[in-house]
């Protein structure tokens, strides 16, 4: 009886131990604090990928076409919204637009700068926290910065959305997908790899996929690829 009580006590203590979060939050806070993606004359700047017309304008064109193809506007969850230079142009095409990022100061800044009746900002770690419910999840050059362990947790949650739109920076030649990295500023391109959520170890199950956009960068710099997945 004493032994059983002791085992129960140990289990109770273990259940109270919180899992240590991945170091992504601190890494992304550092990116903005040290302006590792550039300054852009702003306290918060998400890099050239969110500002260069060659990348932003065609992306907005295909996203607008998709979002306006529905009779009833979708509830959109922008997971990793960054400085919101891109997302701000999509809010008007949604029933509700929930913009999420892991950096608290960035979310506070965005709340002050961008205001719409159907717009909401939330500070969440999408690998750890529950995601907002919605019809369509958008992740624009987000997963490419994360470790495989974090991506796996996120992919499991993406199964709750009917549509998922992923944009990733990939090699523009054949590559071995999903080589693991440490979460942070860098991406898999240096390892001659890129993200493919349909391939192991993620094996994301979808009903259909469609490439919406393929933008080739300068020679040797890869391509920015946007893919639409219909989950159910």
Residue 50 within any structural domain of the chain: yes
Residue 166 within any structural domain of the chain: yes
At 20 the pLDDT is 52
Q: Give the separation between CA 45 and CA 120, rounded to whole angstroms.
A: 20
At 18 the pLDDT is 47
* pLDDT above 80 for 19: no
Q: What is the CATH number of the domain that holds 149?
A: 3.40.50.150
* pLDDT above 70 for 1: no
What integer best gives the mean pLDDT of the chain?
90
Residue pointed to by tokens 């440490």:
182
- pTM for the model stands at 0.88
Residue 118 within any structural domain of the chain: yes
Residue 37: pLDDT band with limits 50, 70, 90: confident
Q: Which of 130, 126, 74, 118 is nearest to 100 (CA)?
A: 126
- Which tokens hold the place of 199? 């391939």
Question: Strands across the sheet with 163-170, in order?
Answer: 119-123, 96-101, 75-79, 136-140, 163-170, 223-230, 208-216
* Residues making up the chain, counted from first to last: 232
Residue 12 within any structural domain of the chain: no
Domain count along the chain:
1
List the domain range (segments joined by +) for residue 135: 20-230
* pLDDT above 50 for 202: yes
Most confident option among 27-36, 139-148, 183-192: 139-148
* pLDDT above 80 for 14: no
Give me the residues paired with residue 98 across strands. 77, 120
What is the percent of the chain where pLDDT is above 70? 90
* pLDDT above 70 for 81: yes
At 22 the pLDDT is 61
Residue 8 within any structural domain of the chain: no
Residue 168 within any structural domain of the chain: yes
Q: Is the omega angle on the peptide bond into residue 25 within 30 degrees of 0, that is, cis?
A: no
Q: What angle do CA 229, 90, 158 make, to 5 degrees?
A: 30
* pLDDT above 50 for 10: no
Residue 13 within any structural domain of the chain: no
């Amino acid at each position: 009886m004493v032994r059983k009580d002791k085992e129960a006590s140990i289990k109770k203590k273990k259940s109270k131990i919180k899992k240590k979060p991945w170091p992504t939050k601190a890494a992304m806070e550092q990116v903005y604090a040290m302006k590792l993606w550039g300054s852009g004359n702003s306290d918060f700047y998400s890099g050239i990928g969110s500002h260069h017309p060659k990348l932003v304008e065609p992306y907005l064109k295909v996203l607008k076409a998709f979002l306006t193809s529905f009779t009833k506007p979708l509830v959109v969850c922008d997971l990793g919204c960054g400085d919101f230079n891109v997302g701000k142009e999509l809010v008007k095409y949604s029933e509700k637009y929930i913009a999420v990022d892991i950096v608290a100061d960035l979310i506070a800044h965005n709340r002050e700068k961008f205001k719409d009746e159907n717009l909401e900002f939330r500070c969440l770690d999408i690998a750890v926290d529950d995601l907002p419910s919605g019809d369509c999840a958008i992740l624009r050059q987000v997963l490419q910065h994360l470790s495989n362990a974090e991506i796996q947790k996120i992919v499991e949650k993406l199964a709750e959305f009917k549509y998922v739109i992923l944009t990733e920076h990939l090699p523009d030649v054949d590559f071995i997908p999903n080589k693991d990295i440490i979460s942070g500023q860098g991406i898999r391109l240096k390892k001659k790899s890129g993200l493919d959520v349909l391939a192991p170890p993620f094996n994301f199950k979808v009903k259909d996929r469609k490439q919406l956009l393929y933008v080739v960068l300068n020679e040797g710099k890869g391509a920015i690829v946007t893919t639409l997945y219909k989950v159910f």
